[in-house]
Amino acid sequence: MKRLVFLGSILSILLLVSCHRGGNGELTGVEKRGKYFEPSPLGMALIPGRSFNMGPGDQDVAFATSPTRTVDLSTFWMDDTEITNNEYRQFVFWVRDSMARKMLSDQFEEFKITEDRKGNPIDPPILDWNRKLDWRNPDYKDALEPMYYAGNDRILGKKELDPRKLNFSYSWVDLQQAARLQNAYNYATQSYQGTVNDLTGKVVPIESRSSFVMSEGVNIYPDTLVWIRDFSYAFNEPLTNKYFSHPGFDDYPVVGVTWKQAKAFCMWRTNFKNATLADKGDFAVQDYRLPSEAEWELAARGGLNNSMYPWGGYYTRSQTGCFLANFKPMRGNYSDDGGKTTVKVATYDPNGYGLYDMAGNVAEWTISAYDESAYNFMHDLNPNFEQNALPDDPPAMKRKVIRGGSWKDIAYFIQVGTRTFEYQYTSKSYVGFRCVRSTFGDEFQGRK
């Protein structure tokens, strides 16, 4: 009997050893993984990770003092300019076209792809984006009619697209809730024990991984009425009518975008990029997002320590007397710096990292929630304070940090260490955004 047990043990060992013969029995890791070199993304600058003193410089207004704290950040990519009207319009047009293709696919089979390249059925079918979308085709008129203003909403019978219909739906995994110990998967019972908050504020038990998947729909068209709403007794109707739609403003920063719309843009940009990479056989996921306020400040400093402005120094003018940013100089001489309101992105010189308009032009959304004491409780490694404010939460929980100051702000607000906030559901004529992207692996591979 002992002999049989001994032989059985030897057989088990031989079976285990014979499963894989590669690597001469040595620990070599998974083979054929390849080496990945991350190319420089179009329109982005590399911000080297480093330690720096986060917080205000030596000028601060009364009762607005925040502590200065030493923090350390990882390397990341950042858009070298604010997102422009034309770049945001690409997002708007994509949403418009996807809605139109979905409507047409309900009536016309040619807008569907039902088989893959090998002839295997695709269920459910997907939209054929290679099919030309002819908006003037009379055969498509009835199918696309719901996208336009109807009845009394039409002005002089003019056929115009209804921007209220341009909604973008997306999903993401709430890693913060998934990381809670009380929400961990119990391998003994093979089930989850905790609960999660959904986007409506309802507390629901965790049934599967899908409980951490949050889905949201956002109307993505910029609020063009901000140019009138933000200013009492002023004539800004031309900007309301033309700022986002006219090609003369294509290279100006997009405004009238809420924090949630900016997040939706980042999600669309992520999906748009990754779908293109997948078509080429590259499955490296590129995640675009809003910067944390710490990332924004590190980038704005441009490699300078304790600088008051992105260009360093204590003054807003160059040695020749020219203003170095678009803000509200003097006592309101808006045009003295070269622009009455916003100006084209990259009008002024970049900072040390090659980033434009980190001071002035438009303030910028960050992913961070605003709290007066955030510097005291945030971690010193990649610090950030995020808060998924629910619909019934008090307004104070819906404050998001904006940085950089704008064309209508005095010099204090364009300092790199100044922080303020807007509410996540508001849109302003002086707030825009730019995206960031984390790096892969060796942060400085192939770079000097």
Q: CA 126 to CA 123: how far, in whole Å? A: 8
Q: CA 80 to CA 68: how far, in whole Å? A: 26
**Whether residue 79 has pLDDT greater than 90:** yes
Nearest Cα neighbor of 417 from 58, 105, 103 is 58
Nearest Cα neighbor of 358 from 317, 418, 269 is 418
Q: CA 76 to CA 55: how far, in whole Å? A: 20
Q: What is the pLDDT of residue 447?
A: 46
Q: What is the pLDDT of residue 233?
A: 95
**Whether residue 13 has pLDDT greater than 50:** no
In this structure, whether the domain defined by 46-84+222-441 belongs to CATH 3.30.70.20 is answered with no
**Whether residue 7 has pLDDT greater than 50:** no
- Decide: pTM greater than 0.85: yes
Please state the rounded mean pLDDT for residues 77-99: 97
**Whether residue 443 has pLDDT greater than 90:** no
User: What percent of the chain shows pLDDT beyond 70?
Assistant: 91
CB 214 within 8 A of CB 199: yes
Cα 222 to its chain centre, rounded Å, is: 16
Q: Quick one: the chain helix, strand, coil %, rounded to 5?
A: 30, 20, 50
Q: What is the pLDDT of residue 25?
A: 82
Which residues lie below 8 Å from residue 334, measured CB to CB, with a gap of 6+?
A: 328, 340, 341, 407, 408
Contacts by 268-273 with C-beta closer than 8 Å and gap 24+?
Answer: 268/91, 268/94, 268/95, 268/168, 268/170, 269/91, 269/435, 271/170, 272/94
Strand boundaries in 9-161, DSSP class E? 44-47, 51-54, 69-72, 76-79, 112-115, 121-127
Q: What is the pLDDT of residue 65?
A: 56
Q: CA 340 to CA 167: how far, in whole Å? A: 33
116: left (phi over 0), alpha (psi -120 to 50) or beta: beta
Q: CA 299 to CA 230: how far, in whole Å? A: 29
Q: CA 363 to CA 115: how far, in whole Å? A: 47
Q: CA 352 to CA 21: how far, in whole Å? A: 53
**What confidence tier does 21 reach under pLDDT thresholds 50, 70, 90?**
low
Q: CA 93 to CA 126: how far, in whole Å? A: 19
Domain boundaries, the chain: 46-84+222-441, 92-166, 167-219
Q: What is the pLDDT of residue 22?
A: 58
User: What percent of the chain shows pLDDT beyond 90?
Assistant: 64
Q: CA 421 to CA 419: how far, in whole Å? A: 7
Q: CA 272 to CA 433: how far, in whole Å? A: 19
Quote the crossing angle between the two packed helices 85-105 and 259-279, to the nearest 10°: 70
CB 416 within 8 A of CB 297: yes
Please state the rounded mean pLDDT for residues 225-230: 97
Q: CA 419 to CA 401: how far, in whole Å? A: 7
DSSP string, 54-82: ES--S---TT-----EEEE---EEEESSP
Q: What is the pLDDT of residue 193?
A: 87
DSSP 8-class letter at 248: G
What does the pLDDT look like over 313-360, one tens digit per residue?
Answer: 889 999 899 999 999 998 888 988 889 999 999 999 999 999 999 999
> Could you give phi then psi for residue 25, rounded to 5 degrees?
75, 10
Per the structure block, which two tokens stand in for 220? 């993505």
Q: What is the pLDDT of residue 10?
A: 47
Run of H or E including 227: helix 226-229
Min mean pLDDT across 16-25, 139-148, 224-233 is at 16-25
The separation between the first and the last C-alpha atoms of the chain, rounded to the nearest angstrom, is: 68
CB 286 within 8 A of CB 295: no
The amino acid occupying position 399 is R
Per the structure block, which two tokens stand in for 229? 């709403």
CB 418 within 8 A of CB 214: no
Cα 360 to its chain centre, rounded Å, is: 20
Min mean pLDDT across 194-208, 210-224, 409-423 is at 194-208
The answer to whether the Cα torsion of 251, 257, 261, 266 is positive or negative is positive
Which residues lie below 8 Å from residue 427, measured CB to CB, with a gap of 6+?
A: 222, 223, 226, 255, 256, 257, 258, 261
What does the pLDDT look like over 358-395, one tens digit per residue?
Answer: 999 999 999 999 999 999 999 999 999 999 888 888 99
- Which of the pair, 295 or 135, is modelled with greater confidence? 295
Nearest Cα neighbor of 168 from 275, 277, 270 is 270
Per the structure block, which two tokens stand in for 385? 């304070």
